[in-house]
A and B are shown apart, each in its own frame.
Chain A
Amino acid sequence: MSAPREWIPAGAASIAAAVRERTVSATDIVRESFDRAVAVKAGADGLNCILSSDRDASLRAAESHPVGGALAGVPVVLKDNIATTTLTTSCGSKILEGYISPYNATVATKLHQAGAILVGKANMDEFAMGSSTEFSAFGPARNPLDTSRVPGGSSGGSAAAVAAGLAPIALGSETGGSVRQPAAFCGIVGVKPTYGLISRFGLVAFASSLDNIGVFGRTVDDSALAMQVLAGDDTTHDATSAPRPAPTYRTDSRDLTGLVIGKPREYFPESLPALMREQCDRAIDALKARGATFRDVSLPHTDLALPVYYIIAPAECSANLARFDGVRYGMRIDGDGLRGMYEATRSKGFGAEVTRRILLGTYVLSAGYFDAYYRKAMEVRALITKDFTDVWASGVHALFTPTTASPAFHIGAISDPYEMYLCDLFTVSANLAEVPAMSLPIGRVQGLPVGGQVIAPKFGEVNMFRVAYALESELGAEAHR
């Protein structure tokens, strides 16, 4: 018997077509995924990108699932803050260690209905708070391209799983860049949709007005395919869901004639390292080669995005995490009476970063400080949003920027909280303005992947993918050099 063909590197679209045509079975693909996981050491003894998985259960699911669907037989990895009734949903936290959700997130149901097979839940910064997956209660995840470095965060495990070849598609979540930044660090594609495009029902909330489900793929096409499956009206379960049907994002067009792309000066500061700037310039040339016109633009309130984010996100998270009290589920530690139980449970159950953000959030909402911090931040958020709408109104269809200033850093390299927050500098504004943005590989700096970011207007994913498809096609193999 000849060596079985490797299907996962061929991508989700190819796998699904082959499974539907019965060229290969879903169980074969799932076996390949688990073999790969063993080979790369996806568990705690290696990359630590997968927190829970069950080979037998996944094989059974593959066997019993009727053949068909846009993602037929495609193995998928879900970030561990997305509720699934099989495997655990720990959110990278001790307070939910071992918790198995009694209901499925809408995105999990949609993937299942499309024929996909869940092969693992991915490691993450605890409750999605972090930019490196070093804040997981279950140990850091490692970058498959250099295991001494972080894969990014908070969706580091999902990014690593795709980069390591366990699955062609993974889901993560984005609140300030937690999909785009790990995608850039791991040399893959990561997409943040328009806020409300993909249902948040079943996504454990960190900051409700900023959270998004995000998609990882090896290629733009796989990400577009996954987005098509996941997008769409879920207003019966999520009141912030956009009541519009899911459009088609996949396209064969690689031509950008007539498209105007903006280059916001605030994303190309003096301090941007020269090597990074080089990679961006090369990407810009590639886009021009496909017919796009570039224009210098400005998003003047960009420098206020991080302060605004670090007031609003902690404020919302302090309320969202109040439900973790040991009463109905999760960890419970006894203390002196009820209040003692609350405090013991939450102090032992939450890590340092989560505790910091809960305290920060409680503070900025507290009496006497609400106006100075929270109300002010909401006002400035409106200004940041207006920066984008003004740019679109001036005739620009999309923006191009670096995703991060530099590639993946070493595990343990950053210890100052605010320095860690700076990792989100170029990504956070898109969450504040609720616009879609994606990162795709544009080259290497010192041998490590770096990403370029495409930002589009709200519900403008079609143009965003057009730009990404064209860039990926024009750069070709250069994107990984």
Chain B
Amino acid sequence: MSEFHERYEMVIGLEVHVQLKTNTKAFCRCSTNFGDSPNSNTCPVCLALPGALPVLNARAVDLAVRAALSLGCVVNHRSIFARKNYFYPDLPKGYQISQADQPLALQGSVALPDGRRIALTRIHMEEDAGKSVHDRYDGFTAIDLNRAGVPLIEIVSEPELRSSADAGAYLRALKEILLFADVSDCSMEEGSLRVDANVSARPYGQQEFNTRTEVKNVNSFSNVERALELEFARHCAVHDAGRTVVQQTMLFDAAADQVRAARSKEGSHDYRYFPEPDLPPLVLSEAFVEGIKCALPEFPSSRRTRYTSSFGLAAGDVEVLTATRAVGDWFEAVVARCGDGKLAANWVMGDVLATLNESGGHIAEFPIAPAQLGDLIAMIKGDAISTTAGRKVFAAMVKDGGEPKAIAEKLGLLQVGDDAALESWIDQVMAELPDEAARFAAGERKLQGVLIGAVMKKSGGRADPKKLAQMLGKRAGG
């Protein structure tokens, strides 16, 4: 296969369908809840009963515009919906309401990790179809229209990807942005993100694109990469044999690790697009678009740059803390409270995330609030307790909740910085270890650690070791 890559250039374009996380469907007010009993979330509109009409969901528009702005697109102030006509049992109207000539947004791009940008062609809004289940009833296909009408955006990339690895990177980067924008769950397993991959092969140096095919039915990003490799190889073999690639839809069969043609009797469809007469043009004011733009969250790439420069964190740590918007937000709330990015980073990564990994929970459900951790870190930083004591307080807070100061007091972990108390303990230790005390006083500075250790033991770990060192230093006459 790598031999093909030496002689042919892989040309890839991706069409990604993303379900918008609205409460209700695109054109009716039925619930979009996943997993309800079949056809329980249907109404005259999404059942396409005679006389029903579509009314567009305002929140779907909000989320679609948010997604478009997050990807750097130009949002059209006026866009038109269109009917895409074809017959399929899970398409109740016999047409899908989509957008053709004047879509919601144009251009935009997705940055790959190495900084290269892949241009987008467009983003448009459309409705999802229902689900067809083929093997549940012998001789029948079962139709569930709960999903029919769920709002989607289709994100179309320019055919600028040149390797399956880049295709995977593009998808991962796109998903990260859409998750940060909080417009979709982006789950390929649940079907809220679906990929149609277009691929063709051409000799290096050839300007024109050769015929492409479309690969569907891929359920993970790594499978997208695999399917593209397989289909590319097939194209190359066809070219080598002097034949032309037939434009058709291909399906990926993960179990058999092969791509094969969809058994469709028709060639390319004639969708007979025309402007949707039931929906006037969607007009979005400048103010509306600006409003959504202003409310956009900070995106992963900017956040990474900021964490590196503001907090001086290493690349690996930055990756972990910016992996999700939720973790980054949590981390910054801790920093806001305690004022120390490095300490906060250590605690969030080392203690919080470690605990979460074991319990498998989401940071939003962590038993400690970021402000509380911030307070704890501030106490350690201010020498109110030692780091070791801090870990005990943390554990107690995870188990039973509560405020760090109160817990530290209760557990008797507050560091004692009181001069008199410290002097008293030092005196006692000196008395109990006369030999070491004498040698220390004579100048053996290395015994300081032993003496501090003894005081720590006597004080139950509460003595402030820094202060002890100062005091002992004074006593030694230095």
A residues adjacent to B (C-beta < 8 A): 81-83, 89, 91, 96, 99, 101-103, 105, 200-205, 207-209, 235-240, 315-316, 318-319, 321-323, 325, 327-329, 338, 342, 362, 365-367, 370, 374
Which parts of B336-378 form the interface with A (CB within 8 Å)?
Answer: none
Given known pairs A316-B277, A367-B270, the reply for A328 and B50 (CB within 8 Å) is: no
Q: How far is the CB of A198 from chain B (nearest CB, A)?
A: 13
Stretch at the interface among B82-90, B386-394, B449-457: B82-90
Main SS at interface, chain A: loop
Which parts of B274-292 form the interface with A (CB within 8 Å)?
Answer: 274, 277-280
| Contact across chains for A201 and B274 when beta carbons are under 8 A apart | no
Indicate if B55 sits at the interface (CB-CB under 8 A): yes
> Which of A204, A323, A342, A366 is within 8 Å of B93, CB to CB?
A323
Given known pairs A102-B44, A322-B85, the reply for A236 and B55 (CB within 8 Å) is: yes
> Which of B52, B143, B274 is within 8 Å of A365, CB to CB?
B274
Indicate if B51 sits at the interface (CB-CB under 8 A): yes
Indicate if B92 sits at the interface (CB-CB under 8 A): yes
| Contact across chains for B51 and A105 when beta carbons are under 8 A apart | yes
Enumerate chain B residues within 8 angstroms of A209, measured Cβ to Cβ. 277
> Which of B94, B145, B274 is within 8 Å of A370, CB to CB?
B274
B residues adjacent to A (C-beta < 8 A): 44, 47-56, 83, 85, 87, 89, 92-95, 141, 143, 145, 270, 272, 274, 277-280
Enumerate chain B residues within 8 angstroms of A237, measured Cβ to Cβ. 53, 55
| Contact across chains for B53 and A319 when beta carbons are under 8 A apart | no
| Contact across chains for B47 and A328 when beta carbons are under 8 A apart | yes
| Contact across chains for B92 and A327 when beta carbons are under 8 A apart | yes
| Contact across chains for B94 and A322 when beta carbons are under 8 A apart | yes
5 smallest A-B Cβ distances: which pairs? Answer: A322-B94, A208-B277, A365-B272, A209-B277, A204-B50
| Contact across chains for B87 and A103 when beta carbons are under 8 A apart | no
**Chain A, Cβ-Cβ closest to B85:** A319
A to B CB contacts below 8 Å, 24 in the list: A83-B49, A83-B51, A96-B50, A101-B49, A101-B51, A105-B51, A201-B51, A201-B52, A204-B50, A205-B50, A239-B56, A239-B280, A240-B277, A240-B278, A319-B85, A323-B50, A328-B48, A328-B49, A328-B92, A328-B145, A329-B50, A342-B87, A362-B272, A367-B272
**Chain B, Cβ-Cβ closest to A322:** B94
Enumerate chain B residues within 8 angstroms of A362, measured Cβ to Cβ. 272
Enumerate chain A residues within 8 angstroms of B277, measured Cβ to Cβ. 207-209, 240, 316
Enumerate chain A residues within 8 angstroms of B92, measured Cβ to Cβ. 323, 327-328
Enumerate chain B residues within 8 angstroms of A367, measured Cβ to Cβ. 270, 272
Given known pairs A239-B280, A322-B95, A370-B274, the reply for A329 and B49 (CB within 8 Å) is: yes
C-alpha spacing A328/B44, complex, angstroms: 11
Given known pairs A105-B51, A201-B51, A323-B94, the reply for A315 and B270 (CB within 8 Å) is: no
C-alpha spacing A374/B274, complex, angstroms: 9
Main SS at interface, chain B: loop
**Chain A, Cβ-Cβ closest to B45:** A237
**Chain A, Cβ-Cβ closest to B48:** A323
| Contact across chains for A338 and B54 when beta carbons are under 8 A apart | no
Enumerate chain A residues within 8 angstroms of B279, measured Cβ to Cβ. 239-240
Enumerate chain B residues within 8 angstroms of A201, measured Cβ to Cβ. 51-53
C-alpha spacing A247/B224, complex, angstroms: 59
C-alpha spacing A316/B48, complex, angstroms: 15
C-alpha spacing A370/B51, complex, angstroms: 26
C-alpha spacing A235/B54, complex, angstroms: 10
Enumerate chain A residues within 8 angstroms of B54, measured Cβ to Cβ. 239
Q: How far is the CB of A434 from chain B (nearest CB, A)?
A: 12
Given known pairs A338-B89, A366-B270, A366-B272, the reply for A208 and B50 (CB within 8 Å) is: no
Enumerate chain A residues within 8 angstroms of B53, measured Cβ to Cβ. 200-201, 205, 237-240
Enumerate chain B residues within 8 angstroms of A200, measured Cβ to Cβ. 51, 53
Enumerate chain B residues within 8 angstroms of A239, measured Cβ to Cβ. 53-56, 278-280
**Chain B, Cβ-Cβ closest to A199:** B53
Q: How far is the CB of B206 from chain A (nearest CB, A)?
A: 28
C-alpha spacing A325/B270, complex, angstroms: 19
Given known pairs A96-B50, A240-B280, A328-B47, the reply for A338 and B141 (CB within 8 Å) is: yes
C-alpha spacing A105/B49, complex, angstroms: 12
| Contact across chains for B274 and A327 when beta carbons are under 8 A apart | no
C-alpha spacing A380/B53, complex, angstroms: 27
C-alpha spacing A315/B82, complex, angstroms: 13
Known: A235-B55, A239-B56, A323-B92; 19 extra A-B contacts, CB below 8 A, are: A81-B51, A82-B51, A101-B51, A102-B44, A201-B51, A205-B50, A207-B277, A239-B55, A240-B53, A240-B278, A316-B277, A319-B272, A322-B93, A327-B143, A328-B47, A328-B145, A338-B141, A367-B270, A374-B274
> Which of B51, B94, B141, B274 is within 8 Å of A205, CB to CB?
B51
Q: How far is the CB of B47 from chain A (nearest CB, A)?
A: 6
C-alpha spacing A34/B419, complex, angstroms: 106
C-alpha spacing A319/B48, complex, angstroms: 12
Q: How far is the CB of B61 from chain A (nearest CB, A)?
A: 13
Enumerate chain A residues within 8 angstroms of B87, measured Cβ to Cβ. 322, 325, 342
C-alpha spacing A73/B75, complex, angstroms: 53
C-alpha spacing A246/B277, complex, angstroms: 23
Q: How far is the CB of A184 from chain B (nearest CB, A)?
A: 27
| Contact across chains for B95 and A319 when beta carbons are under 8 A apart | yes
C-alpha spacing A321/B44, complex, angstroms: 15
**Chain B, Cβ-Cβ closest to A200:** B53
**Chain A, Cβ-Cβ closest to B90:** A327
**Chain A, Cβ-Cβ closest to B42:** A328
Q: How far is the CB of B271 from chain A (nearest CB, A)?
A: 9
Given known pairs A237-B53, A338-B89, the reply for A370 and B272 (CB within 8 Å) is: yes
Q: How far is the CB of A174 from chain B (nearest CB, A)?
A: 15
Given known pairs A238-B55, A374-B274, the reply for A91 and B95 (CB within 8 Å) is: no
Enumerate chain A residues within 8 angstroms of B89, measured Cβ to Cβ. 325, 327, 338
Enumerate chain A residues within 8 angstroms of B272, measured Cβ to Cβ. 319, 362, 365-367, 370
Q: How far is the CB of A38 from chain B (nearest CB, A)?
A: 30
Enumerate chain B residues within 8 angstroms of A365, measured Cβ to Cβ. 85, 272, 274
C-alpha spacing A205/B276, complex, angstroms: 13
| Contact across chains for A203 and B51 when beta carbons are under 8 A apart | yes
**Chain A, Cβ-Cβ closest to B29:** A236
| Contact across chains for A103 and B49 when beta carbons are under 8 A apart | yes
Q: How far is the CB of B125 from chain A (nearest CB, A)?
A: 14
Enumerate chain B residues within 8 angstroms of A103, measured Cβ to Cβ. 44, 49
| Contact across chains for B274 and A89 when beta carbons are under 8 A apart | no
Enumerate chain B residues within 8 angstroms of A374, measured Cβ to Cβ. 274
C-alpha spacing A204/B54, complex, angstroms: 13
C-alpha spacing A236/B57, complex, angstroms: 10
Enumerate chain B residues within 8 angstroms of A204, measured Cβ to Cβ. 50-51
C-alpha spacing A374/B85, complex, angstroms: 15
Enumerate chain A residues within 8 angstroms of B55, measured Cβ to Cβ. 235-239
C-alpha spacing A338/B48, complex, angstroms: 19
| Contact across chains for A83 and B50 when beta carbons are under 8 A apart | yes
**Chain A, Cβ-Cβ closest to B279:** A239
**Chain A, Cβ-Cβ closest to B275:** A378
Q: How far is the CB of B324 from chain A (nearest CB, A)?
A: 37
Enumerate chain B residues within 8 angstroms of A370, measured Cβ to Cβ. 272, 274
C-alpha spacing A58/B143, complex, angstroms: 37
Enumerate chain A residues within 8 angstroms of B83, measured Cβ to Cβ. 319
| Contact across chains for A202 and B48 when beta carbons are under 8 A apart | no
Q: How far is the CB of A381 from chain B (nearest CB, A)?
A: 12
Q: How far is the CB of A313 from chain B (nearest CB, A)?
A: 11
